[in-house]
Amino acid sequence: MHELSIAYHLVEIAAQAAQSAHVKQVDALHLRLGALSGVVKEALLFSYEIATAGTVLEGSRLVIEEIPVALHCPACAVTSVLDTIQVFRCPICGQPSNDIRQGRELEVVSLEIADEQPTYS
Amino acid sequence: MNNPRILEIRRGVLEKNDLLAQNLRAHFNEAGVMVINLVSSPGAGKTAFLEATLRHLRENGLRPAALVGDLATDNDAQRLARSGAPVRQIVTGGNCHLEADMISTHLADWQLDLTNLDYLFIENVGNLVCPASYDLGEHLRVVLLSVTEGEDKPLKYPTLFNSADVTIITKIDIAAAVEFDRAAATAAIHAVRPGMIILETSAKTGEGMQNWLEYLNTCRQTYPLQPITT
């Protein structure tokens, strides 16, 4: 299981971005997770709490958008979304294809920032 | 001043590893060494296969070396060193896969002159899940599947098989004894990676090793490796 190490990587990236933007508290981290990323959603969610402890992301939610594989078929000239990662064939004509256009994503998309009271000094 | 509600980031979680891997690959290209990442489940025969490969390459006058990832021991490195090729161990200390920075750190410590090599093999940790996500700067990713493992293994670990360039079926000398179903294995491999080249080998009897060496040589000719000219 390498999801804990993945969780630490994503927290590092997010914490860096939060710091540069002078963010004190994060509500949620949005992540795009491809079906072929090699990362298991449940294991990542479990690891997230551990990885965020003591960081600006502590207590935040991890919101995962699952990205299915999209396969391009040269014969049909169509890119189709697959509902499996076990058969790489065009769902229209049945031809095998290796032209994967989507599904390897493992990307930090954005942070949802907690509302803060305006500060006056 | 209120902070914005949404802070856009859009960065790859493994971008650090990917960037390091790209730099490593450029470095390997410049040195003219072809790098092969071997992945399989534990017990598929990676070490025996690599030992036979190193021995055969050396017999053919070529210059291979190997970096060997292992969770806790240096047994594999000791076995491989018998081939006479330079071998170095990466003990991952429980980490289930190799990452690009482990490769660059060990290469730096090793002080191996890459320009004196034809091939550098990286034996990954025995695991069919985690190594899939990590580019090590290799030119060729080779997945090993032994005849004893079950022909449907590619369907159980599609991400790794999909990320590989070639499948090596190992222990082919005992295929009949374990009733290995060649057609089923081929169908499973091609379902998750259409058209992938499949080579059958036995490290024990040497069967198929010549085909594998020829395949390696063809890849080496094809890859854009640029040996340093003196």
Comparing alpha-carbon positions, the chain B residue that sits nearest to A121 is B1
CATH number assigned to the domain covering B15-221: 3.40.50.300
Collect all residues with Cβ–Cβ distance below 8 Å to B158 and sequence separation of at least 6. Answer: A36, A85, A86, B192
Give the CA distances from residue A50 to residues A66, A94, B159, in Å, rounded to whole numbers and listed in that order: 22, 44, 26
How many A-B residue pairs are in contact by the CB < 8 A criterion?
110
- Residue B91 contacts residue B122 (beta carbons within 8 Å): no
Quick one: tokens of B212? 């594998």
* Residue-level pLDDT at B137: 96
* Residue-level pLDDT at A44: 96
Candidates B13, B130, B155, B197: best to mutate against A (most CBs of A within 10 A) is: B13
Rounded Cα gap, residues B202 and B172, in angstroms: 5
Rounded Cα gap, residues B73 and B55, in angstroms: 22
* Residue-level pLDDT at B228: 42
The residue type at A78: V
The ranges assigned to domains in chain B are 15-221
With a cut of 70, list the residues of chain B below it in pLDDT: 1-4, 223-230
Residue B133 and residue A111: Cβ atoms within 8 Å? no
Quick one: tokens of B146? 């032994």
* Residue-level pLDDT at B229: 42
* Residue-level pLDDT at B202: 98
A121, pLDDT greater than 70: no
Residue B130 and residue A111: Cβ atoms within 8 Å? no
ipTM of the complex: 0.87
Rounded Cα gap, residues B125 and B123, in angstroms: 7
* Residue-level pLDDT at B224: 64
Average pLDDT, stretch A22-48?
A: 95
Distance of CA B127 to the CA centre of its chain: 12
* Residue-level pLDDT at A39: 94
In terms of Cα–Cα distance, which of B187, B147, B149, B143 is closest to B165?
B143
A5, pLDDT greater than 60: yes
**What is the three-class DSSP state of B179?**
coil
Residue A88 and residue B194: Cβ atoms within 8 Å? yes
Rounded Cα gap, residues A40 and A42, in angstroms: 6
Residue B133 and residue A1: Cβ atoms within 8 Å? no
The whole-angstrom distance between A14's CA and the closest CA on chain B is 8
CATH number assigned to the domain covering A3-113: 3.30.2320.80
Comparing alpha-carbon positions, the chain B residue that sits nearest to A100 is B162
DSSP letter for A89, please: B
Q: Is A109 on the interface with B (CB under 8 A)?
A: yes
The whole-angstrom distance between A43's CA and the closest CA on chain B is 12
- Residue B119 contacts residue B216 (beta carbons within 8 Å): yes
* Residue-level pLDDT at B2: 56
Residue B8 and residue A109: Cβ atoms within 8 Å? yes
